Each structure stands twice: as C-alpha cells, then as structure tokens.
Chain A
Amino acid sequence: MNIVILESDHLQILLDVLRKRGYQVIGPTLGDGAIVYDGLNTTANLPIGWTDEQDGGTYRLKKRNDKALFGYNVGPHSWKKYLLPSELRLWKIKRNGNSFQIVTENEATQKFAFIGVRSCDIHAISIQDKVFMNGQYIDQHYKSQRKDTFIVAVNCGKAGGTCFCVSMNSGPRATFGFDLAMTEILEGENHYFLIETGTELGAEILREIPHKEASEKQKCAADDILKNTAEQMGRSMDTSNIKDLFYRNHEHPRWNNVAERCLTCANCTMVCPTCFCTTIEDVTDLTGEHAERWRKLDSCFTMDFSYIHGGSVRSSIKSRYRQWITHKLATWIDQFGTSGCVGCGRCITWCPVAIDITEEVDAIRKSEPVSERQTTEAVEIKGS
C-alpha cells in the first residue's frame, strides 16, 4: 500500500473536500473541560496543542509544548454518539378517526466523516457493526448511517493513563476499517502526517489533496512513534482463558467487594464504545391524537433493565456489576465471536469511584490457586 505525506497545513483541504462531497465532518474539539466529538468547520476547531491526563475517575486537560493536532487519547464521547444516537425517534403515529397512520423514520438523513478515529474505536465500531448488521435482525437506522460513514483514523502518538489496547489486540495502530489512516509527526519545524489509504474512496479523496511520497526514514519515524505508544500503555489486562475465568467464578468474594464501591450510576456503560443496549419509550400527547416511539440508550446497571413480571432479576449491585463485566469479557465471545472490550479505558476514567476493569480481572485471576490456573491452561494446550 502506498504511504504518502500530507503537510499539516493541508489537512484543511481534506476537511473541505469531504464537506464538498456532502459529508458532515465530525472530530475532536474542546468542550466542557474535555476533548469531545463535535462538528469541525476548520482544523482550528481541533484541540491544537492540548492533551489529556487520565487515571481512574479523573480526566484533566493539559497544554502540550507543541502544536500537535491529535496529541491526546479518547475522551468522554465515542462515535456511537453519531452511529447509535442516545435518543432516536423510531416512528410517529397519528390517529385518523378509528384507524391510525404510522410514519417511520428508519433512514439516516445525514452522512458523516469522522476525523481522528483511534484504533480501539475502529474495533468498537466493527463490534457494533456485528451487533446491528449481522444475522437475522438488522438495525436499519444503524445500517443506513454506517453505509455512508467516511473514517479518517489517527494512529495514537501517545498512550493514555487508562489505555490498554495492546492487551486487547486493538491498537495503537489502525489496521482495518478506515478510508484513510494518519500518523502525526512533529519534528522540530516539520509537522506532517503519514497517510495510508484503506479504501478506493479514500484513495479518490486523497488524490484531491496535495501530497508526496513518504521516504523510508519518514515511515520509520511513524513506526517508532507507534512502538513507543505501545510501550506506554497505562493499564494492561491478562486475557488468557478469560472466558473460562469468568465462567468458573460466578460466585466469588470479589463481587461483594466491587458492590461496595459500584454506584450503579451506569457511567461505564454509557461511555463504553461497544455497549449497545437501548430501551423503548412510548409517548403520547395530551390530546391522544399523536403518539411516538423513542429508542434511548439504556444500561444493564438500572433496575428497569432486568425488570420482568414481579420485579428486577438483578436487584443487587453485585449481580449488576457481575453481569456487565461477564458479558463484556466472556459471554460476548460466545455471542459475537470477539471480546466486548477494546481497551479504550473509558470505563476506568469515567467511573466516578475509579472502578478499574483491569484491576477487577486481575483480582479474580490472582485469587485462584495456581494449580487451578495451570490445570485450565494445560487443558487448553492439550485441546488446541
């Protein structure tokens, strides 16, 4: 694949070309004390010279000592803000005497170009693609939105304090699922992007922007940056036999321990780029002539989520945390063939009480007698 150089000053042309082709350009920008995703009119809207410092339950913006455009990691928003809107009207109904008329709203009305999608989030999008576009039940809104989404990936030039994509095999280099992928390079006065094309559409758009061939030295510089990022991961997770680890620890004293800390506030699920649960609300107006059906982002941490006749199935905090993490890291594998976790670290950063998914896995793993761990591993080797 051809790798080319785009001068940082020419990034604006990319945005212009995309807009001219009818895309609404979305990307990282400063907002409410964080780097969030919103509309980008110009590259001046990017968080130029800003970075973030993240740890369990804390996120702070900091100034960098350079003019990097993408010198930070993922923030509180994920791309599901656009692909899986938190509130979406599915249809409207109007009463017509004794009958009624339904107006459906399944088709997306706008096409998006996402700028600065990190590798972990590309993995997350591909997981949601499986959830919504594979199998018998297709989510028409998601499908129509996804069909026209243009993705410009950014390979991470640094790792965040809660990042662990290396453990989850989901970063820091974007390897698929993009139209264009960029690595930002700042060398003294030189500020440029190494661009890799992922699709024919990406190549077509690149042809409209001034660029030149990358030298071997420039390619090496990008490789070094990514190697360095991979070595900086703030967190790590041992995923060996992780499905069985959870399957044999439905009952474990750690669940009581985490229940003492967990607020069941649902922040982890709301910021998670793969969590996809929604609920349905039917509303009517006072006249009784109009009704609407809305889909809203939901969470397995609420009581309503598991409410069936007679009460909530998971009424204890313990059972709700266990359900979430077991689904994310174990039953997800049976359900969709991949882990539900991409190592973006959002659930760690945005948990008000800093509950850390990597620490919880570690605590359960380390509590098991060594003999049990070895036995399972031996069986695994024999079986494979």
Chain B
Amino acid sequence: MRKIRKPKLAVWKFASCDGCQLSLLDCEDELLSVVNKIDIAYFLEASRNVVRGPYDISLVEGSVTTQHDAERIQNIRKISKLLITIGACATAGGIQSLRNFKDVKDFISLVYANPQYIETLDKSTPIASHVRVDYELRGCPINKRQLLEIISAYLNERKPNTPSHSVCIECKRRGTVCVMVSQGIPCLGPVTHAGCNAICPTYCRGCYGCYGPKETPNTSSLSEKFSNSGLNNDSIMRMFRTFNACAEPFRKESEAHEIEEAGSNKPEYST
C-alpha cells in the first residue's frame, strides 16, 4: 500500500498576487510533514531548485491574461497527473477580471506610461476555461487548512472535505450570530461557498464573497433583500463585482444591477 516514491508537487503562478502559494509556506508547523510525504519539485517562490516534470500534483495559482500564459497552461496540463487550481484568480479570473466588463485598452493607456510595451488579452479567464481542472480550492486567498486537507486527502486516497454549501452553515456551526438579521449588515454569506469558517461575520463584518458562489446560489433573492434594506443598485453591483466578479452567478447578478442603474435613485445604504 505505502508509496515508495514520494509524489512530486509543482506550484505554478499565473496572473495573481502570490497570496495563495504563500499559503503553502504559511503552513509552517505542518510544512515538515508535507515535505516528508511530498517532493516539492517545482516551487519558485520557495526554491530555485527545480526537478523536471512530469508532476503528480500541480497547484495552479492565477488567471490567464496573456497569450504566453494561455500556451503555458496547456503544457502544464500535459505534464501534470492531477491539476488543482487554487484561489479566486485561478478559479474565477480574480479581481483582474474587472477588465472583462470594460475595454482593457482604456486601462492600459491610463496605467502605463508606455502602453506600446504591454501585450495582454482582452479578458482575464480562469484556468478551467483553458484546460481540464481536477479540483478547485476557492478563496482570496485560499485557506491553508483546506490546502492541507486536499494534500492529506490525496496522500491517503480519500475524498477531500471541502463542502460547497453556504457560509451561513459555518456561522451557525460556530455559534456566530447572523450579522444581517441582528444588525442589518449586508452579507454575501447566503450565496457564498464555505471554506473560510465564516471569518468575516465572526468579526462582525458582512461576508465579501471571496470564496465565490456556493452551489445553487439564489443571488437575485439576496439582492432583493439588499435593495429592501436600502442598498442602491450601484452598491449591489459592487458587492457582487469583486474577487469573483466573473464567476457566472456573480457576474450575471452584478450585470443585472448595472443595467438598472439609470432609473435608480435609492439612497445609499448606511448603518
């Protein structure tokens, strides 16, 4: 049963802030156990030492925003047995997918002194738009506990426990009082994928939705609730248009409130 050869792990970076791959280094106490069981063969953030592929597991961080990256991910898929995307950039296009709602050329000329040197794609897209993905870990950034869970599940040949239900279940399990019901704070928890253990509501903040849409999210019903509590269309649009702006259910919901904006004159929500 026991594997003789340690499985080889590679960590790949695409358009991203590096926060998710840092979660692996952030494991600290558990990191020694990880390297006892796994050969970290390619992880430029941690070491210049590179072991050639193929790899048993590839963790892919970031979204595809250049033609070069669109080609690179094809090769990574070819040399990876198991490809796991980590974080909102890799799973949904990330915060940089805000460009998808506008003309990226306008941004380039605003941001760069010499825009002629910039080569970029019109849209920021998740890895799954380019290659087959075996597993997704959500979050901005991912939770190190979930990262260890998926590695541990792989090593022990079992199903990982990364449920796709709402953040509300995590709030209720830890006894956190609903911030929306008890204080009127707008919260995306009821439509957001669990995994963070409801960290924001526990500190009396509404959920920002950084894990993206949960299974069967009813975003329009939640928007109606926001609207009845006094949030205007622009605010609702902005709530859904953050780290997971281009995850399909969130994208559709933000667009629904963008179109309606012209006719809206509701006051800005305040607590």
Contact = CB atoms under 8 A, between A and B. Distances in A.
Given A261-B221, A266-B165, A317-B216, A86 B173 contact: yes
A57 B224 CA distance: 13
B216 A266 contact: no
A283 B161 contact: yes
B33 interface: yes
B70 interface: no
A282 B155 CA distance: 14
Contact of A60 (B172, B182, B191): B182
Contacts of B225: 57, 352-353
A201 B46 CA distance: 64
A281 B161 contact: yes
A283 B182 CA distance: 34
Contacts, number: 137
Contacts of A81: 175
A186 to B, nearest CB: 26
A317 B224 CA distance: 17
A3 interface: no
B170 to A, nearest CB: 10
B177 A36 contact: yes
Interface stretch (A26-34, A148-156, A219-227): A26-34
Interface residues of A, number: 48
Interface string A183-212: 000000000000000000000000000000
- For the complex of A and B, list the 9 residue pairs with the smallest distance between their C-beta atoms, beginning with the closest: A270-B172, A265-B190, A32-B177, A86-B173, A263-B190, A286-B33, A265-B168, A302-B165, A265-B166
Given A34-B177, A260-B221, A352-B181, 4 more contacts: A36-B177, A288-B156, A350-B178, A352-B222
Interface of B: 30, 33-34, 36-37, 148-149, 151-153, 155-156, 158, 161, 163-166, 168-169, 172-184, 187, 189-191, 204, 215-218, 220-222, 224-225
Interface of A: 31-34, 36, 57-61, 75-77, 81, 86-87, 260-267, 270-271, 281-288, 291, 296-297, 299, 301-304, 315, 317, 349-350, 352-353
30 contacts: A32-B176, A32-B177, A33-B183, A59-B178, A59-B182, A76-B182, A86-B175, A87-B173, A263-B222, A264-B216, A265-B166, A265-B168, A265-B189, A266-B166, A266-B168, A286-B30, A286-B33, A286-B37, A286-B148, A286-B152, A286-B155, A297-B172, A303-B216, A317-B216, A317-B218, A350-B181, A352-B168, A352-B178, A352-B190, A352-B222
